[in-house]
Amino acid sequence: LTFVAMAKVFRNNGILVLESEQPVTFELSPDGIKYSIEKAGKLTIGAAVKPSSLILKGTATSNFIYDNNKKVLTIEVPAGEGMISMK
């Protein structure tokens, strides 16, 4: 379990975990990423492979972009708290 408060970029051993246009507080767990963000915006999340499914705030979505070269996905999230789960 990893908790990060009010960060725009978080890397672990030099590998991007999460990047945001604005400060975001989040918790990483085996279940996914629980986040809190003041305004709607983009989150860029490190992912070694393209997820076969992504759930945002309890709803399956395909509204994300995966960059295979950078090994990241980008998703628009609404303001407030939410949970992102990937498989």
Interval 38-51: pLDDT, tens:
999 999 999 999 99
Cβ-in-10-Å burial (0-12, 13-18, 19+) of 30 comes to exposed
Parts of the chain with a pLDDT under 50: none
Best CA proximity match to 34, nearest among 56, 19, 16, 64: 56
- Rounded distance, CA 47 to CA 25, Å? 19
Position 85 scores a pLDDT of: 97
Beta carbons of 73 and 47 less than 8 angstroms apart: yes
pLDDT at res. 28: 96
Structure tokens at 14: 């030099």
CA distance 8 to 31: 22
